[in-house]
Chains A and B, each alone.
Chain A
Amino acid sequence: MVVGLWEGKIMSKTKSPPITTELDGKFLDGSLETDGKLIKIEHLTRTYTLGEVEVHALRGVSVEVSKGEFVAIMGASGSGKSTFMNILGCLDKPTKGTYTLDGIEVGKLTRDELALIRNKKIGFVFQGFNLLSRTTALENVELPLFYSSVSNKDRKDKSISALNIVGLEERIYHYPNQLSGGQQQRVAIARALVNDPSIVLADEPTGNLDSRTSVEVMEIFQKLNDQGITIILVTHEPDIASFAKRHVVFRDGRIKSDKINNSPRIASEVLKTIPSIDEEEEEA
């Protein structure tokens, strides 16, 4: 087990580039030429074979994301945005093309190495929250740290401070079924943050939430982004996308447009205009 050896290294070196991460005895040079970009994707294609039929989910996508950006990925269903998100999140591998995350070429990694990247560099927020039921909020947030070598005390401290960031410090021993949808999604955000990831990937994070709670969640994302955390958000709702600083629109497996949003809406201000009847119910 090489695990114990490199985990100390990655913890100390992720902050200051260039990053050198040793994965199971193999050195991954984190100083690949990426022009200072956090994410560099070139000519990415992804093809599935369903029986005899080949499905071209991505047909050559090139995109770059810098540190500190807030990107909304939009597109109709079937446009390839979910496939793109899966590859971005290291849950899937590209068929062709290169994907460099934080100086590491991800496409060449094994399953275990991808798991490590997911653990250290990526925080996921899903539409369906994806919390473990019958497990407290705190334990849900602790989950990523179970798969890194973190002492039991550090794990708890880090998790509590992540729950503080999303404003759930009072409910750390609640189970998901004792929390509202918005609160569950905030637990999921805390879980995404707990390991200090390079990017937070949010896949339709407001899809299961009412409009006010959605804005509340977006407020958290904006706050995190203000602190320098890179956020990539998949959504099909223009309302939600309007909180992001950059819009990338997918169609038929290609990028249709990639524009800077010069006047993103500010969630905290939008919240003032929405009556907070739901909030009382939520707190009850």
Chain B
Amino acid sequence: MKILNILVAAFRALQRNKMRSFLTMLGIIIGVGAVITMLAIGQGAEYSVKQQIAALGTNVLIVFPGSQQQGGIRSGAGTMTTLTEEDAQAIRDECPAVAYVSPGTFAGGQVIAGNLNWFTSIQGVGVEYAQIREWDVQYGDFFSDQDIKSATKVCVLGRTVADNLFPDADPVGQNIRIRNVPFKVIGVLTKKGQNAMGQDQDDVILAPYSTVQRRLSHFPYIRQILVSATSSNTIETAQKQITDLLRMRHKISRYEGDDFTIRNQSDLANAATATSQILTILLASIASVSLLVGGIGIMNIMLVSVTERTREIGIRMSVGARGRDILTQFLIEALVLSLLGGIIGIIMGVTGSKVISSLAEWPTFITAFSILLSFGFSILVGLFFGFYPARKAALLNPIDALRYE
């Protein structure tokens, strides 16, 4: 039998029981639709997570001083006073994989502007901090190298601080007092929103690290050095270069451990991405269970169909149909069911994702991969669950089949 003739015969056979064929297909429609929607939602989540991590700066490394050890008692990380401005300068000059460097220190404190006040953290940073965090000023300017050298009392406000201290006025050019030290506001940062931990990143004041050291914290060392690698691929290289450089500068013999720690944001990024990928896989597997159930529906209906049409099978065999002709016929019927269901399911899944995305304001992504996956899966389901009933039909004894009432 020619394949076209078999297809026509399959469509006609399915047409005879329109309701039954539709309900059988519904299982596959829901399965495929669910797989596509769930993959779209999962990939949307993955995208959001990646966006947030990219906002942190994926190629950022943070160098902390090591922990202090006195007579066997170890303090926490960052308590040693081993990092200096010169270390930061050396990293910038001698590590080719490093793009930007910003020494950092911090202080907390009450900030007063006019009759308003606000408690926030004051980050002492370098000029390149803005590039490392990819964080621009919205109004005014960022401070300059000159401000750092001469420890000028200038600062840049985070959005939240600006809103709280200057609800109505333009903060640029105004004076504020941080722990009773007067600072001049020279700029306001763009809004950055929450970080991955849910903290408000805009609740901050940036000032030259030299000013913070001398005027606020009175701590002459560097608490951390923020470094960005030239690209996210050179993070490992940059980390290696910095380690070698600092070990040399700090005269650490090869038997001793580092007196600093380098933290790498990409670990966090990988973990978060992996988590959302697991979420996607989980959603898709739950959805594919319904595809499996749809497949069982096909098998069920095909078994009923084989029993109902035993006599037809007998007639076909008596006029010369071979087992494989009967097998092909029923397999094609099952495939047509699952394929039609698959196609409708894809349409439903795509529509469903769009609806969810517009109602829940959640990004959804439909990839060619997810469509191919569910389409291929529905073909497999048709073949797998169609095979047993088709084989059962093919193995019927023509005499018994002809006599079947």
Contact = CB atoms under 8 A, between A and B. Distances in A.
A99 interface: no
Nearest to B311: A130
A271 interface: no
Contact of A126 (B320, B324, B325, B402): B402
B402 A144 contact: no
B398 A112 contact: no
Interface in A180-219: 191, 195
Instruction: Assign chain B's interface to a size class.
Output: 20 to 34
A143 B316 contact: yes
A1 to B, nearest CB: 9
A120 B318 contact: no
Contacts of A148: 320
Contacts of A70: none
Nearest to B9: A146
Interface stretch (A27-35, A84-92, A245-253, A275-283): A84-92
A165 interface: no
Contacts of B398: 91
Interface string B304-325: 0000000110111111111111
A143 B315 contact: yes
Given A92-B399, A130-B311, A147 B318 contact: no
Interface string B86-115: 000000000000000000000000000000
Nearest to A140: B315
A205 to B, nearest CB: 14
A147 B325 CA distance: 8
A192 to B, nearest CB: 9
A223 interface: no
A92 B403 CA distance: 14
Interface string A108-135: 0001100110111000101000111010
Contact of B320 (A130, A147, A152): A147
A91 B313 CA distance: 13
Nearest to A124: B318
Contacts of B324: 112
A121 to B, nearest CB: 10
A91 B315 contact: no
A118 B399 contact: no
B321 to A, nearest CB: 5
Contacts of B321: 115, 119, 146-147
A112 B322 contact: yes
A132 B12 CA distance: 13
Interface in B311-353: 311-312, 314-325
A131 B1 CA distance: 19
Q: Identify the interface centre among B315, B324, B402: most chain A CB within 10 Å of its CB.
A: B315
Nearest to A117: B320
A112 B16 contact: no
B5 interface: yes
A147 B399 contact: no
B315 A147 contact: no
Nearest to A146: B1
Interface of A: 86, 89, 91-92, 111-112, 115-116, 118-120, 124, 126, 130-132, 134, 143-144, 146-148, 152, 191, 195
Interface of B: 1, 5, 16, 311-312, 314-325, 398-399, 402
Given A124-B318, A146-B1, A147-B319, 19 more contacts: A91-B317, A91-B318, A91-B402, A111-B322, A112-B322, A115-B321, A115-B325, A116-B322, A119-B320, A120-B320, A126-B402, A130-B315, A130-B318, A134-B16, A143-B319, A144-B319, A147-B325, A152-B5, A191-B319
